[in-house]
Amino acid sequence: MVDRPGRTQWTLKSPRLTDEFRALVARAAKEQGQGINDYVVDVLTARSQEVIKARGGDPVAGPPISPPARLQDVALDLVEQFARLRQEQEMALAKIAAENRRGRWRRR
């Protein structure tokens, strides 16, 4: 950050900051009758206060506050799901095999 009296600069870098995003923010700021920087400060201040105040109470609508899932946790969950599906499939195949052993006329 570069601080000058009465002016602070802040640089944001993200692949999500696209030309479409900039155009969206510019249009919203224009409709609110504000400059882009003032609009961004007002919106970020309001949203940040909502998030901070919600820590002790109910979560607010919008992006989740919790961190994203870890890959190890997702992988472990998938392994458990595949094991359960394999067991269900083996039981279904065993049932089909048992029905086939009974013969054509005894199935009921």
How many Å apart are CA 21 and CA 99, to the nearest integer?
61
Where do the structural domains in the chain lie, given as residue ranges?
A: 2-56, 67-108
- The answer, yes or no, to whether residue 2 has pLDDT greater than 60, is no
- The answer, yes or no, to whether residue 1 has pLDDT greater than 60, is no
The tens digit of pLDDT for each residue in 55-91 reads: 655 655 666 556 667 788 888 889 999 999 999 999 9
Query: Average per-residue pLDDT in the chain?
Result: 81
Is the CB of residue 54 less than 8 Å from the CB of residue 60? yes
Angle at which helices 19-32 and 36-53 pack, to 10 degrees? 90
The tens digit of pLDDT for each residue in 3-15 reads: 667 778 888 888 8
State the Cα angle at 81 between 79 and 85, rounded to 5°.
115
